[in-house]
Amino acid sequence: MIELILASGNSHKAQEFSELLDPKILTVKAAPHKLEVIEDGLSYFANALLKAQAYYKEFKIPVIADDSGLNVLAIPEELGIQSARFGGDGLKDSDRAHLLLKKMEGKPNREAFFTCVLCVYLNEKEIFYFEGRMNGSIGYDYRGEGGFGYDPVFIPADGGGELTVAELSDWKSKNSHRALAVSFAQKFFSQRS
């Protein structure tokens, strides 16, 4: 069993990770305190590594970090690694989701996908990456009470219909981009001797 700290101050992520992980393989606890890490990498991989390195350097214990975001084909430069900053500072999750719906007005291509890249940083020589992806499309309205971020406007391709991720909490727990990345990590570490 590998004990890790989570390189994030996001309480939603910490809760989601604890629900996804098999404690016989990997356990995650919150870092003693949040670090301000400048995420100026040009990819999800680079930003996950920046966070993992910073937390490892500060706390000297193995770290799991992730970088994730929503990629929208009709506006490829606007979200992605900038998803959490879309629309500028001071916006709530719901404000960002409503802004996305506004930007998508009149756009016929609504294809989108969520990406999650995990970086498991055991030490300076053992760094592992795992990527999960959830395909879908941007809906036409804001629906659902579950999830967070862009979940109320994202309709997953494998969700079985027109429901948003925010309306599919049980489904999301097994099929989200983060759940997939975590399952790849757990499989890898369960087979590693």
pLDDT band with cut points at 50, 70 and 90 for residue 12: low
pLDDT, greater one: 42 or 20: 42
Judge contact between 66 and 116, C-beta under 8 A: yes
- The DSSP call for residue 134 is E
pLDDT of residue 110: 98
pLDDT of residue 168: 94
Nearest to 138 by CA among 160, 115, 167, 107: 107
Rounded to an integer, the average pLDDT of 75-99 is 95
- CB-based burial label for 126 (10 Å; 0-12, 13-18, 19+): exposed
pLDDT band with cut points at 50, 70 and 90 for residue 21: confident
> What percent of the chain is modeled with pLDDT above 90?
76
Nearest to 100 by CA among 113, 86, 114: 86
Q: What is the CATH number of the domain that holds 90?
A: 3.90.950.10
Tokens 């053992």 locate to 126
- How many domains, the chain? 1
Q: CB within 8 A of 89, min separation 6: which ones?
A: none
On whether the pTM is more than 0.85, the answer is yes
**Residue numbers annotated as active site:** 67
Domain hosting residue 18, numbered range: 2-191
pLDDT of residue 11: 62
The CA distance from 43 to 69, in Å, is 11
pLDDT band with cut points at 50, 70 and 90 for residue 180: very high
Task: Give all strands of the β-sheet with 111-123 in edge-to-edge order.
Answer: 26-30, 2-6, 63-72, 111-123, 126-138, 154-156
pLDDT of residue 30: 84
The CA distance from 153 to 83, in Å, is 14
pLDDT tens by residue, 140-172: 999 999 878 999 999 999 887 899 999 998 899
Q: CB within 8 A of 177, min separation 6: which ones?
A: 68, 113, 114, 115, 116, 132, 133, 134
pLDDT higher than 60, residue 193: no
Return the axis-axis angle of helices 177-191 and 11-20, rounded to nearest 10°: 50
pLDDT tens by residue, 28-63: 888 888 999 999 999 999 999 999 999 999 999 999
Q: What average pLDDT does the structure give for the chain?
A: 92
pLDDT of residue 181: 96
The CA distance from 175 to 155, in Å, is 13
